[in-house]
């Protein structure tokens, strides 16, 4: 039973990572596609490659997710908890993808872990969640908005004497670099969360000591995310690229650059699992607001904000219910 659950967790974990890829593919490429800097096929392929490479850049976030969110019970009960957390997060990802809402796969996973842990009467490390999840969740979008706004204002000032056609052409080329940076940052941040959950399962089963991430876990997660990214998530790409605000290449470049800077800083320095989705959405809002605040479709932004708030319970409640059901049926 233990072997079966560990294998099932790995399979479901990689499935979650695949849904993370197609759900969050828009994070890296929506702005580049909407400004026609890249074609959808080229953008998706580049994002997939950069996601794969980004997964190998660090494991600090993975160790935070594996050891800093919950303390799972040992053996079968703990493995069942992890499995239900993953299933709750997958369900929320699929639902929000269907609705075209760019919500956070990262926070869905953490919500699933907390919900299942509460149902299992396991220890939830609330101080770790506050320091490593809640505060970064609140601060990263604010920083994204400000950076996106300031970067685009700087671009407007620096190229104020250039012709619009020349500026557009230059920034379409520059967006190739900024989109690649976003893809690398997405792989760096989001792939590590699945690594952390798989390692949590290995430790819970007693198959390894400590929360270091084996190379085979990194490679498997990287491949699953890259495959998911290449399949794309066109519903969310439309929301991020067109429905929030009209983007031109300079604004797209500013948004992607600002978001990538936040992703790298939090992954390498803070080791906090922040939301790639929230960060790039906030940066798009900041860059889009440089013309007129009325240019931003705030009703769409409010809908996204509501979905962000609902992400934790949206993944946590199904995960908790599923754990209670399986525990009652199987007696594990």
Distance CA 10, CA 65 (A): 16
Nearest CA to 109 out of 20, 173, 237, 30 is that of 20
d(CA 278, CA 307): 11
Q: What is the mean pLDDT of residues 152-164?
A: 90
Which residues contact residue 168 at a Cβ distance below 8 angstroms, ignoring those fewer than 6 apart? 248, 249, 250
What is the per-residue pLDDT for 246? Answer: 64
How far is it, in rounded angstroms, from Cα 30 to Cα 319? Answer: 30
- Structure-block tokens of residue 30: 């929506």
pLDDT of 104: 78
Average pLDDT over residues 154-168: 89
- Note the pTM of the prediction, 2 decimals: 0.84
Residue 177 and residue 299 in contact, taking contact as beta carbons nearer than 8 Å: no
Residue with the bigger pLDDT between 248 and 262: it is 262
147: confidence class by pLDDT, cuts 50, 70, 90: very high
Distance, CA of 210 to CA of 75 (rounded, Å): 15
pLDDT score of 234:
60
- Measured in degrees and rounded to the nearest 5, phi and psi for residue 68 equal -110, 5
Q: Average pLDDT, stretch 253-257?
A: 91
The predicted pLDDT at position 173 comes to 87
The partner residues of 71 in beta bridges, in order of sequence, read 123
Rg (CA), the chain: 20
Q: Find residue 123's DSSP bridge partners.
A: 71
Residue 1 in tokens? 């039973």
Question: In terms of Cα–Cα distance, which of 30, 75, 4 is closest to 259?
Answer: 30
- 283-321 pLDDT, tens digit each: 888 887 777 666 566 665 676 677 678 889 999 999 999
Sign of the dihedral through C-alpha 69, 71, 75, 81: negative
Residue-level pLDDT at 12:
93
Given a contact cutoff of 8 angstroms between Cβ atoms, the answer to whether 111 and 311 are in contact is yes
What confidence score (pLDDT) does residue 39 get?
Answer: 78
Residue 118's pLDDT is what? Answer: 94
Phi-psi region of 26 (alpha: psi -120 to 50; beta: other; left: phi over 0): alpha
What does the pLDDT read at residue 221? 94
Looking at residue 278, its pLDDT comes to 80
> Which stretches within the chain are classed as H helix?
2-34, 40-54, 60-67, 75-99, 105-119, 126-129, 135-158, 164-204, 215-231, 234-238, 249-265, 276-288, 298-330
With a cut of 60, say whether residue 85 has pLDDT above it: yes
What tens digit of pLDDT does each residue of 5-44 get? 899 999 999 998 898 887 766 666 777 777 777 777 788 8
CA–CA dist 304, 189 (Å, integer):
21
């Amino acid at each position: 039973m233990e072997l079966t659950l560990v294998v099932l967790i790995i399979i479901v974990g990689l499935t979650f990572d695949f849904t993370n890829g197609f759900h969050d593919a828009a994070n890296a490429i929506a702005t580049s596609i909407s400004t026609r800097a890249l074609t959808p096929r080229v953008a998706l392929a580049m994002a997939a490659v950069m996601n794969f490479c980004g997964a190998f850049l660090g494991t600090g976030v993975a160790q935070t997710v594996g050891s800093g969110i919950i303390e799972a019970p040992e053996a079968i009960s703990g493995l069942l908890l992890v499995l239900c957390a993953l299933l709750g997060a997958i369900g929320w990802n699929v639902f929000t993808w269907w609705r075209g809402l760019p919500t956070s796969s990262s926070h869905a996973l953490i919500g699933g872990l907390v919900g299942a842990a509460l149902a299992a009467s396991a220890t939830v490390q609330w101080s770790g969640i506050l320091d490593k999840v809640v505060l970064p969740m609140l601060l990263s979008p604010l920083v994204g908005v400000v950076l996106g706004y300031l970067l685009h204002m700087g671009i407007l000032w620096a190229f104020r004497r250039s012709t619009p056609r020349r500026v557009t052409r230059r920034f379409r080329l520059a967006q190739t670099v900024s989109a690649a940076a976003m893809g690398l940052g997405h792989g760096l941040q989001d792939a590590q969360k699945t690594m952390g959950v798989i390692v949590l399962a290995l430790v819970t089963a007693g198959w390894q000591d400590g929360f270091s991430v084996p190379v085979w876990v990194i490679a498997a997660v990287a491949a699953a995310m890259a495959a998911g990214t290449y399949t794309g998530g066109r519903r969310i790409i439309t929301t991020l690229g067109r429905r929030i605000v009209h983007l031109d290449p300079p604004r797209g470049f500013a948004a992607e650059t600002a978001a990538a800077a936040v992703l790298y800083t939090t992954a390498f320095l803070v080791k906090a699992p922040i939301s790639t989705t929230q960060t790039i959405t906030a940066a798009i809002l900041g860059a889009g607001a440089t013309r007129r605040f009325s240019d931003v479709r705030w009703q769409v932004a409010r809908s996204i904000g509501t979905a962000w708030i609902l992400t934790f319970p949206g993944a946590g409640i199904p995960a908790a219910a599923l754990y209670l059901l399986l525990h009652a049926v199987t007696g594990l």
